[in-house]
Structure formats: structure tokens, C-alpha cells
Amino acid sequence: MAELDGRTALITGSARGLGRALVRAFLDAGARVVAWDVDEEANRAMARETGADGDRVVPMTCDLADLDALAECYAEVRERHGAVDVLVNNAARALTKPLWDITPGEWDQVFDVNLRAAFFLTREVTGDMRARGSGRVVNLASIAGQAPRPTGAAYGAAKAGLIALGRVFAAELGPHGITVNTIAPAMIDTPMVRSVGDEVLAALTAQVPVGRIATPEEVARLAVYLAGPHAGFITGATYDINGGALMR
């Protein structure tokens, strides 16, 4: 029997990179996946490529920066697909810019997706989990929220906030049978990371003790474990998956 047979997982930011790997990993573990992304075409393509589109993968278009749209999307999930057993807050917006040049609008865009949406969506979903007395939440933060990186003020601050938010939810929801944990990866081998170019990537990789960057599958499998039946005594934790780039 697979780890997550019969469970429904809601995964945000599902269309590309780590989100795509998360969908596949949860499918492999037996879950049914409701996949949210703002890019409708890419999200539907992702669902088709899994071979489970319309059966165990349900792609939905949702703009998490719009709280009204977020609430409407979740109401549709409840009505059409029933209870959500696992929430994976993966959607993110990055910004690489000197702190002197960040505009208020850019700051808000990063926080709207990385932190504000995670707060309000988690509150919506765990409200239903509380009524059932069980549930799992997995947040995808970043090493950027734990160690300073030049040109990463907005993204790093938002991810640090997500780590703190996970602990608050964990403390409040533990008595209701809900665990909340956070994963903080360093660089993951995705098209976005590869876009920096081979020379830059090689320089960054040289700073990692294990001598490489993470695969999306490595991070996704950790998320599956934290969502599964053997992680019931783990909550409020932050898991570093960074090849030794930050040792604590």
C-alpha cells in the first residue's frame, strides 16, 4: 500500500520545476492531487504529462495573489473534490534586485504570493482539517530565508516569514491532529536555476560541500514523507536540504 493512498493533496505552484516534481511524487505515493497554478496552459500540460489528468490529477488555475480568487478556488475544491488531507504551499515569486532598487509594488508582489497567500490558504484549509481532527501542511521555504543573500531582500524576508509562520500554525494546530512543517532547500535543478548560465551555476555549486545542487525529486520525496503516516510526531520543524551549504 502506498504511503498516501486515499489522500487528497492540494499543491500550489504545480506547473513547473519543483511543483511538477511534487505532483509526480505525490501521485507515486498514491495521492490524488489538486494542482494549482496561475499559468493555465503550463499546468494543464503538466497534468497531461503525468498520464493521470482528469483521474488523479486535477489542474486548476488560481492566482494566489488575489485573495478573492484564492477563496473561490478553495470553495470549488471543497465542493467538487471534498476534503483536502495535505496542503503543500509551494507557489513562489522570486525577485533578484539590489535592496535600494526594490519598489513598493515589487515588494508587495513577492510577499503576496510567498507569504500572504500561504497564510490565508493555510487558514482556510486547516479550518476544515480541524473539524476532522487530522491533516498535514508542508511549506516550501528556502535557504534564502535563513542566510543572507545579496539582491534577495524581498524573497529572503518572505521565506523567513514562511518559516516563522509554519511554527505558529504548528503550535496552534498540534492539539487538533494537524502537523505543519517546512522544507528549506538551497538551489534545485530547475529551468529557472539553469537560466543563470553554466559559469554562474558552476561557481555557486562550488560553494556546496556535496558538490552539486539538489534534484527536484529529492525535495519532493521529503515533502511526501512529511505528509505521510510516519511523520505524525514531527511538527514545527524546518528541514534543511542544501548539501551542506548551511550547517546548523
Signed CA dihedral, 236, 231, 159, 43: sign only = negative
d(CA 155, CA 161): 10
The DSSP 8-state label assigned to residue 137 in this structure reads E
- 74 flagged as catalytic: no
Task: Please choose, from the candidates 213, 205, 164, the residue with its C-alpha nearest in 3D space to the C-alpha of residue 185.
Answer: 213
Among 74, 155, 225, 239, the active-site one is 155
Instruction: Check: CB of residue 60 under 8 Å from CB of residue 53.
Output: no
DSSP 15-36: SSHHHHHHHHHHHHTT-EEEEE
CA distances, 147 to each of 214, 229, 248 (Å): 18, 32, 11
d(CA 130, CA 108): 30
Q: Known catalytic residues?
A: 155
